[in-house]
Chain A
Amino acid sequence: MSEVRLSNITKRYDRNTVVDGINLFVKDKEFLVLVGPSGCGKTTTLRMVAGLEDMDEGDIHIGDRLVNDIRPKDRDIAMVFQNYALYPHMNVYKNMGFGLKFRKYTKAQIDSRVKRVAEILGIEDLLFRKPGQLSGGQRQRVAMGRAIVRKPQVFLFDEPLSNLDAKLRIQMRSELSKLHEKLQTTIIYVTHDQIEAMTLADRIVVMNDGQIMQIGSPLEVYENPVNLFVAGFIGSPPMNFMDVKLVAANGQLYIDGGNFRLAVPGALKRRYDAWINRQVVFGMRPDHINDRSFLIDGSELEELEVVVEVIEPIGSEVILIVTTGDHQITAKVHPQTKVSLHQSINLTFEMNKMLLFDKKTGAVIDAGA
């Protein structure tokens, strides 16, 4: 069983705590993604699992072994680095066979393994080239091949797609998914790209400032973020946040934005009852805001008049940046929406998708909060 358990992992550089008491359980065969902005501690955490960094506190278990004092080569892990770290003076074959050489595999065993993995990755024709003669995508595959050949308990990926161009990145993402299906091995994957995290992960770990903000499936962190950070980090374009007041009138709750009011769906009344007349942050994803002329039935819709400031047609949709009063809102609307700059239009908000956050703590306001 190749689960990984991180218990209270802490890492400090002088006075700076870069990883702060992380607790994490990675399930066997899971594709777990650590995602967060630069400096959040995700790479440091990964490197501590690899054994490339010492921990100041905490324990790491790989399988059922405590690996704190075990050297990287004995932890049964394999790592793919951001810059691939291919040995420049060896050809692809030797790069891939390098790790097996030190584990006393016979030449025949190394040969068959390397060739088999090369076939899986489609790099059999490149075996006798040197890294300098390969393209970025090819190098990336060789780096993965070097890891796969080792048949480790856990794969560790450190932003492996960051150095590729956008198109290649999308292609490699789907290949990585298929590879995971095929290899059935635990993967811990680090990225700063939330789209990568959403598309690849079985579970996502959102990190910020050395701490875990939320762990959950991609859908969970998208639909039910636990705080402002997660809500704003996951999703593109990011969620709209507005400082508003929650008011009650005629037995109904309203979001009061100063120059507008939006009715809160009845079903959510109980959740927000305790927050009446308090300052809260109103969150609504651009995907849940549309142009009035493309009304969708069913959801609780509220309308808002806004002024169009920026129009970004991206083909599949149009991104509008609009203003009302002091608020700036991003909306992802139907691709055939007809608008012009500085025009006044009406946008609809799917209020059953709304989120409210405590302005002071940033935590989402939930039932029983």
Chain B
Amino acid sequence: MGIFTLYPLLEGIRIAFTNKHFLKEGVEFVGLQNFIRLLSDEIFWISLYHSVTLTVVVVFLQFLFGLILAWAMSQKLPGMSWFKSIIMASWVIPVAATVILFKFMAQPDIGFINIVLKMIGFEELNRYWLGDPDVALAFIMILHLWRNVPFYGVAFLAAMQAIPQSYYEAAEIDGAGGWHRFWYITLPGIRNMVIVMVTIHVLWTFNNFDFVYLATGGGPVNATDVLPVYVYRQCWNSYTIGYGASIGTVMLLLLMLYFIVFIKISERDNIS
């Protein structure tokens, strides 16, 4: 545990205070120099902005759509059990395969998305969706949603099914309609699952490297740059590991801050 987690962690933070470079000999301690450089690095701030936006929007939408999906799956409809068994496919497919798939679909003229748009009369929207700085980040968000919403759906469904039927019956007799039963019984009943899912997905999404790197590499022109991808470029394209480590350290601090605040809020709600 210590070797695999603690050592890389501490070593990474230590390097952030050095000027370590893959192509240069000699490593010196440089104090806060890397961090000061961060503050005036425009791309760092753009990447940070994208990371936060991506995480907030994606996790929120995943929660919302996951909830709707879970509610839909809890209805007794023909074919539902078959549907439930195939729905996790999007989460199971390797990320690289997903990206390739969506890259093809995003192609101008011949991509599936543009073909459909043309069919329904929106031919003017035809473009390479991952090459357009205005929509590329949004497209990446869709990739996240496509992959993770079924996971949310299945998790929420499991949590919903653990709620005793008698609560709903008591509420029905008390006069609560469908929406109120959902609000007063279902949502509080799945609260713990929501906390778990949101916590892990904030961490996963903020740290997510593969979708962005494989789809756009951070482009076009930094339009989809996120912190993990920027760190990668600093370390493996520019070979400035020290600087890369400092960005990584900032990411660590941000996530720890989130974690602490989030836990405090959910504990407080639990007690009240």
Interface of A with B (CB < 8 Å)? Answer: 50, 52, 71-73, 77-79, 81, 83, 85-90, 98-99, 102-103, 146, 150
Contact = CB atoms under 8 A, between A and B. Distances in A.
B173 A50 contact: yes
A87 B169 contact: no
B174 A102 contact: yes
Given A85-B164, A87-B167, A102-B180, A79 B173 contact: yes
A79 B180 contact: no
Nearest to A52: B169
Contacts of A90: 184
A81 B170 contact: yes
B271 to A, nearest CB: 10
Contact of A73 (B166, B175, B184, B185): B175
B134 interface: no
A85 B175 contact: no
B210 interface: no
B35 to A, nearest CB: 44
A85 B174 contact: no
Contacts of A99: 173-175
Nearest to A99: B174
Nearest to B166: A85
A77 B170 CA distance: 11
B31 interface: no
A103 B175 contact: yes
B133 interface: no
Interface of B: 164, 166-167, 169-177, 180, 184-185, 188-189, 191
Contacts, number: 59
B3 to A, nearest CB: 41
A73 B174 contact: yes
20 contacts: A52-B169, A73-B173, A73-B175, A78-B173, A79-B169, A79-B170, A81-B169, A81-B170, A83-B164, A85-B169, A87-B184, A87-B188, A88-B167, A88-B189, A89-B184, A89-B188, A89-B191, A102-B174, A102-B180, A146-B174
**Chain A to chain B: the 4 pairs with minimum beta-carbon distance, closest first:** A102-B175, A99-B174, A89-B188, A85-B166
A146 B180 CA distance: 18
Given A78-B173, A87-B184, 12 more contacts: A52-B169, A52-B172, A73-B174, A79-B170, A87-B188, A88-B188, A89-B189, A90-B184, A99-B175, A102-B177, A146-B174, A150-B174
B180 A85 contact: no
Contacts of A52: 169, 172-173
Contacts of A98: 171, 174, 176, 184
Contacts of B188: 87-89
A102 B185 CA distance: 15
Contacts of A87: 167, 170-171, 184-185, 188
B222 to A, nearest CB: 45
B70 to A, nearest CB: 18
A284 B166 CA distance: 42
B97 to A, nearest CB: 41
B173 A72 contact: yes
A25 to B, nearest CB: 23
B165 to A, nearest CB: 9
Given A87-B185, A88-B188, A72 B172 contact: yes
A235 to B, nearest CB: 32
A77 B173 contact: yes
Most chain B C-beta atoms within 10 Å of own C-beta, residue among A87, A146, A150? A87
A87 B171 CA distance: 9
A81 B173 CA distance: 11
A150 B170 CA distance: 13
A73 to B, nearest CB: 4
Contacts of B173: 50, 52, 72-73, 77-79, 99
Contacts of A103: 175
A78 B180 CA distance: 18
A217 B117 CA distance: 76
A102 B169 contact: no
Nearest to B170: A85
Contacts of A73: 172-176
A103 B164 CA distance: 24
Nearest to B174: A99
A216 to B, nearest CB: 30
A110 to B, nearest CB: 12
A85 B163 CA distance: 10
Contacts of A77: 173
A152 to B, nearest CB: 9
A50 B191 CA distance: 30
Contact of B166 (A71, A78, A83, A150): A83
Contacts of B180: 102
Contacts of B189: 88-89
